[in-house]
Amino acid sequence: MIEWSDEDLMIRDAVRGWIDAEVRPNLDALESGELPPYDLLRGLYKTFGMDEMARSSFRSRIAKEKEGAAADGGERSGGGSAAMTMIPVIELCKVAPGLVSAMGVGLGLAAGTIMKRGTPEQKERWALPLLTMEKVGAWAITEPNSGSDAFGGMQATAKKVGDEYVINGSKTFITNGPYADTIVFYCKLDDGREARDREILTFVLDRGMDGLEQSRPLRKMGLHSSPTGELFLNDVRAGADRLLSSGSQGGKESAKQNFVTERAGVAAMALGVIEECLKLSVEYAKTRELWGQRIGDFQLIQLKLAKMEVARLNVQNLVFRHIEMQRAGRAPTLAEASAMKLYAAQAASEVAQEAVQLFGGNGYMSEYRVEQLARDAKSFQIYAGTDEIQVTHIARDLLSR
């Protein structure tokens, strides 16, 4: 794949029209936190029939599972479905990348975990409302004292008491945490072993359960349109019906599969930011005049624009490669996904910072949108694993061959 098809471009233009009508007028309210993003995202889903597509696909998969047939897990995508996955992500990230974070965590991580590891009953109970955007999902793994050592440093525990588990602990930096209806929660089985040796368990929790507290949104540098919060659990009781299967590889390996999904998706998010920063920079370079000529005629400005275009082409190629892999039914390895995220995140952040520099003093003002995009792009280098963690995963894979 070297370019979008005519059908893809029609989808792109339709999505752009919806964003211009629904998102851009609400950007200030999203940035201030006054407007949570979820009704807008539900509107996107209803407008383009994505909720009905999700419902139909879900019913087909569940029917196959109940008949004992192997479901494909939704990994294989045709051109249309790949475009409907990537194009809204790219276009939304040109305006409000936080919307994609909020949507992606609920769909790709929370619902995705349940779809991979849940029983048909668990999927119908919790995953379907997430896949149709009827409910908001969160994926809770990060803790205040663990950071990048998400598994080894995990302190949240579940202790078996009779037929139930009693869960205690806290989580932080949880996307959708303040508003989540459904929470996929990772913790360690309290069985007397050393903390780092304990089994990782995954539960599905609901808003309002006794002992579960969801904080107000935290204040952040960027991604203001994606609410982030903390979770506090004090003797939360969960029945075995809320426990997801660890599978043959255990909860830790299952979580790593989600890291692959999340990291590969950052390339599409980065492409949106890069394309928008480049567009705004070219427009500004054509119209802004200094010393009697447009700044686009100065070679240092041209160098900035040229580097932005190189980054755009490279990240676009990563996105196209990912689409081709989807079509072929192949998922990236952890190292491949980490490499995609590392490069794309750095490229987006660098392009956005250069756009601010190109705009000069205006670039530091919120009225000129490169300021917001620069703050948002920086998050790409931190969440879903920092740049440093991506380097570790890539290198370990290379050295293990």
The total number of residues written for the chain in this structure:
401
Cα–Cα nearest to 206, from 103, 124, 111, 126: 126
CB 97 within 8 A of CB 269: yes
Handedness of CA 195, 230, 383, 42 (dihedral sign): positive
Give how far Cα 92 sits from Cα of 103, 110, 287, 362, Å.
Answer: 11, 20, 26, 23
Say which of 91, 143, 230, 262 is annotated catalytic. Answer: 262
Give how far Cα 323 sits from Cα of 3, 55, 169, 203, 311, Å.
Answer: 11, 22, 38, 31, 19
34 is catalytic: no
CB atoms within 10 A of CB 59: 12
In the block, tokens 């194009």 appear at 87
- SS3 of the chain: the string is CCCCCHHHHHHHHHHHHHHHHHCHHHHHHHHHCCCCCHHHHHHHHHHCCHHHHHHHHHHHHHHHHHCCCCCCCCCCCCHHHHHHHHHHHHHHHCCCHHHHHHHHHHHHHHHHHHHHHCCHHHHHHHHHHHHCCCCCEEEECCCCCCCCCCCCCCCCEEEEECCEEEEEEEEEEEECCCCCCEEEEEEEECCCCCHHHCCEEEEEEECCCCCEEECCCCCCCCCCCCCEEEEEEEEEEEEHHHECCCCCCHHHHHHHHHHHHHHHHHHHHHHHHHHHHHHHHHHHHHHCEECCEEHHHCHHHHHHHHHHHHHHHHHHHHHHHHHHHHHCCCCCCHHHHHHHHHHHHHHHHHHHHHHHHHHHHHHHCCCCCHHHHHHHHHHHHCCCCCHHHHHHHHHHHHHCC
Residues designated as active site:
262
